[in-house]
Amino acid sequence: MHTLAQDLQTLFPQLTAWRRDFHHFAESGWVEFRTAAKVAEVLDQLGYELAMGRDVVDADSRMGLPDEATLAQAFARARQQGAPEKWLSAFEGGFTGIVATLNTGRPGPTLAFRVDMDALDLDESTQDDHLPAREGFASCNSGMMHACAHDGHTTIGLGLAHLLMQYRAQLNGTIKLIFQPAEEGTRGARAMVAAGALDGVDYFTAIHIGTGVPAGTVICGSDNFMATTKFDVRFTGVAAHAGGKPEEGRNALLAAAQAAIGLHSIAPHSEGASRVNVGVMQAGSGRNVVPATALLKVETRGESEAINNYVFERAKAVIDGAAAMHGVSTELRLMGAATSSAPSPAWVNYLREQASQVAGVEQAIDKVKAPAGSEDATLMMARVQQNGGLASYMVFGTTLSAGHHNEKFDFDETVMLIAIETLARTALNFPWTRGV
């Protein structure tokens, strides 16, 4: 009688092959065309019922969508890079979400597991001290890199799919595997929630690997994600001859610069952590032209929704004031959003029990203190909880070669075995008789 761990060891070469393929053909948010098509192909081969594209991604709720030309170029590239043609068309236009369903036909709840698939907009290191470069699977797509382990997350989703189908006779109820696009910038979850992808889910678990958590440690109820609002601001002034008629100009660059300094001067909140970051500033057109256009890419964050709303409202006031100083107009466009996380204690307790059984897990804990970025899985968690279900977010610690979002980021691939076994146990050990 073989064990889950033994089955996973047998699967490990396939897991690393999947991960390294996703890593090499890294695709950013909303253009995960090849990635999604490959995922769909594997899930179909395993026997899952698939809902994809517009059936699980609401068009009008997508945030931070690239322009049509970018979508079309990335779609053509995916086809050229070998995306399985049978599955590719479902995702065209930026609908790269998948929900795979295993319905056992026996009474029981619906358990959902969510992974994200998108890469970051980053050029990967080509140095020999970076393993993916040394081993020949660094990203082949310029400006796109898996520097937050979403290639590992996608592989964990496929490994879990493989194992649960293998053990399906021991399951009851329904299993849903959610493969989400565009987590970076908190852009994709909102559209999957709006499409109803989370409706009917009784128990929801999202995952992340790394994040600075040491190898051997599993966090079972991450509650330190910050609510966040992502937005672009376009400033429009009046161009004029900088030497001859400066008084006729209205300087969009100065307005944006004023706004940037003002945004970073917003007072912190006494009740919890808050953040503001102006990540991008673009402005002007020529040395001797009073700049008529400027763009800021900004994010606000707060330990709670209320704190993030405080920062965002102050940010809008600062932007309006800076625009008034320079007589320019502004257009603010929302590009992403996520809420703070509130895991369900009963589900956290159950997940901790499952993680504690896995070889290689030295400690399974509920949470860590420090605010740790943001995650739009929090929107999925909130929807499940609003519907009366339970939800949590797990982090599987691992050794990292560099920090997340760094061009030399890499992780110890064996962490995928721990994550898959934990999630498989969560489904297989569910106390089906317990009131469901």
- List interacting residues with ligand IAD (CB under 6 A): 148, 184-186, 208, 211-212, 228, 372-375, 404
In the complex with ligand IAD, the residue whose CB is nearer, 75 or 393, is 393
Q: Which residue is nearest to ligand IAD (CB)?
A: 373
Work out how close the CB of 315 gets to ligand IAD at its nearest, in angstroms, rounded to a whole number. Answer: 15
Alpha carbon separation from 71 to 52, 67, 140, 415 (Å, rounded): 17, 6, 18, 33
In the complex with ligand IAD, the residue whose CB is nearer, 41 or 412, is 412
In the complex with ligand IAD, the residue whose CB is nearer, 78 or 315, is 315
End-to-end CA distance of the chain: 30
Work out how close the CB of 222 gets to ligand IAD at its nearest, in angstroms, rounded to a whole number. Answer: 8
DSSP 426: H
Work out how close the CB of 388 gets to ligand IAD at its nearest, in angstroms, rounded to a whole number. Answer: 26
In the complex with ligand IAD, the residue whose CB is nearer, 7 or 118, is 118
| DSSP SS3 for 165 | helix
- Please count the other Cβ atoms lying within 10 Å of the Cβ belonging to residue 233: 25
Integer Cα distance of 189 and 179 in angstroms: 10
CA nearest neighbour of 173 among 353, 435, 351, 394: 435
| DSSP SS3 for 292 | coil
* C-alpha count within 13 angstroms, C-beta hemisphere, residue 12: 16
Q: In what order do the strands lie in the sheet with 363-365?
A: 49-52, 98-103, 174-180, 110-116, 203-209, 390-396, 217-219, 363-365
Is the C-alpha dihedral spanning 124, 129, 131, 134 positive or negative? positive
Work out how close the CB of 332 gets to ligand IAD at its nearest, in angstroms, rounded to a whole number. Answer: 18
In the complex with ligand IAD, the residue whose CB is nearer, 28 or 251, is 28
Work out how close the CB of 381 gets to ligand IAD at its nearest, in angstroms, rounded to a whole number. Answer: 13
In the complex with ligand IAD, the residue whose CB is nearer, 78 or 418, is 418
The DSSP bridge partners found for residue 208 are 395
Is the C-alpha dihedral spanning 363, 367, 371, 375 positive or negative? positive
Work out how close the CB of 16 gets to ligand IAD at its nearest, in angstroms, rounded to a whole number. Answer: 22
Work out how close the CB of 6 gets to ligand IAD at its nearest, in angstroms, rounded to a whole number. Answer: 32
In the complex with ligand IAD, the residue whose CB is nearer, 211 or 398, is 211
Work out how close the CB of 370 gets to ligand IAD at its nearest, in angstroms, rounded to a whole number. Answer: 9
> For residues 118 and 182, is the Cβ–Cβ distance under 8 A?
yes
In the complex with ligand IAD, the residue whose CB is nearer, 157 or 237, is 157
Integer Cα distance of 431 and 215 in angstroms: 29
